Structure 1
Amino acid sequence: MMNRDVVALDDPVGESLRGPHAHLARRLGRTATYLPGVATFAAVSADPDPAEWADLARLLGRGELADMFSHPAIPPSDWEPVFVLEGRQMIWPGSGRPDHPHAETGTGVVELGADSVPEMLDLVARTQPGPFWPRTHELGTYLGIRDNGTLVAMAGERLRPPGWTEISAVCTAPEARGRGHAARLVSALVARIVSRNERPFMHVAEANLGAIALYERLGFEARKHVTFRGFRTP
């Protein structure tokens, strides 16, 4: 039966680190973060006290990035703000599969593994879809499209709160845009996720109106507004 509990999406990083991504986690007290090279996302409890922030600082190390993702808690004043980004959380509305013509067959779509990491990092550097590190591909399945052997588009699975899988790193090289690659990749991932009896979700910057329009056309619906924040540990 499809898990329709959206509460897990209120703390997607913490739920992932306590659940399907526990093998990729570092922990200290009630805090957690991903292993180096996988992701910089960090998790604290719903109402962290100063001791908990101190634990997270020790876990990460001095002067390191604490990407708090969409967690609303603000750390102590000696933590340096690094970024604030307004965004939108979008969810797949049910258990149905996408109606994109290539969603099931994955025409032109290939799976990307560890041997593709240099190409993936190069594409991310060119397109800036969001954070992506040398081990980020370990979070889930990543798919790509090649043109004459060159990787020109990709998308993959990132956060995994129980019952859900986030689609992320959706990007297309400038010279390959306008060919429907993003729609094909996202639809292929939706089909895979739904086949596992899970539901897809996404996070999109509010300023990225083109991406929001695309995901709405594919069938995603807005769930809530979120604010992404990052800080540097003292």
Structure 2
Amino acid sequence: MPIHSDSYKFLDNPVWHALQTVHKNFSLGTDEICRYRPGTLQILGCENPGKVDLNDLRQWIMEGEKLFMVGDLAAPAPGWTISRKLDCMQMVCESEENLIQEYTEEILPLMEDDRSEMLELINLVQPGYFHEDTPLLGSYFGIRKDNKLVAMAGERLRMTGFSEISAVVTHPSHTGKKYAQMLVSHVAKKIMNEHAVPFLHFVSTNARAGKVYELLGFEERKIITFWELIVEKR
């Protein structure tokens, strides 16, 4: 199936489709615009960005809050400011062929008792994207050394037929050991076993990450923009 096939159209507007399907229980908003419940993800989606009014979401947002919008940007609205624009590469994986099949480290499921360590690790490496209840969105796995969590990866945006691999981080003292490749392979195989397609995003300037994912069999689909919006006081 070509990665530019119409079968992948959901991935052009992944937040909206996630909140309308698998993650519907995490959705707050209206029939046209919604957001993830605070504490899970600071991110919103809408069915038709060109026609929606961002302020229809106001009652579910705190003043000064930062929210990401993925894909097409909604029309300007009073009280909303673009604070950052991140162009990200979206990749998908259709086959297990290039995924790591045998691990040199034990891959452990991460549970509720692991949340504080997960937050500590990811906020050390990628601060601001992972929150206390983010682990509720999917399955997360990690590698431990000396009983300390040193690498992790899991699922973020999930919708019918697709699941995003995210929170791929390794402690700076443990890089270069293929921990991330093993974890991404493990999560991708788990997603495929559930008859869904794994996909992921990374900042498009991060060529090193792109090469790693290519080695695992991920293919580039498109550049998709993450817009960080600040909601100002009225």
SS at match of 2:101: coil
Deviations 1:36-62 (A, max 9, x none): 100011012324446x32212232132
CA distance in 2, matches of 1:99, 1:117: 27
SS at match of 1:200: strand
CA distance in 2, matches of 1:47, 1:69: 10
Match for residue 233 of structure 1? 231
Match for residue 115 of structure 1? 113
CA distance in 2, matches of 1:194, 1:68: 27
Q: How many residues align?
A: 227
Q: Runs of at least 4 residues of structure 1 off by over 4 A?
A: none
SS at match of 1:225: strand
Instruction: Judge conservation of contact 1:102–1:188 (CA < 8 Å) in 2.
Output: no
Which residue identity lines up with residue 178 of structure 2 in the other structure? G
Compared CA separation, residues 102 and 72, structure 1 to 2 (3 A)? farther
Q: CA RMSD, aligned part only?
A: 1.9
TM-aligned CA deviation for residue 138 of structure 1? 0.5
TM alignment of 1:1-234, pairs within 5 A: 5-49=7-51, 52-76=53-77, 78-92=79-93, 94-96=94-96, 98-102=98-102, 107-128=105-126, 131-234=129-232
SS at match of 1:204: strand
CA distance in 2, matches of 1:141, 1:71: 28
CA distance in 1, matches of 2:36, 2:101: 36
Deviations 1:56-88 (A, max 9, x none): 223213222221123333432541222111111
SS at match of 2:88: strand
Percent identity over paired residues: 34
Q: Tell me which moved more, 26-35 or 139-148.
A: 26-35
So what's the TM-score if we normalise by structure 2? 0.90
Which residue identity lines up with residue 155 of structure 1 in the other structure? A
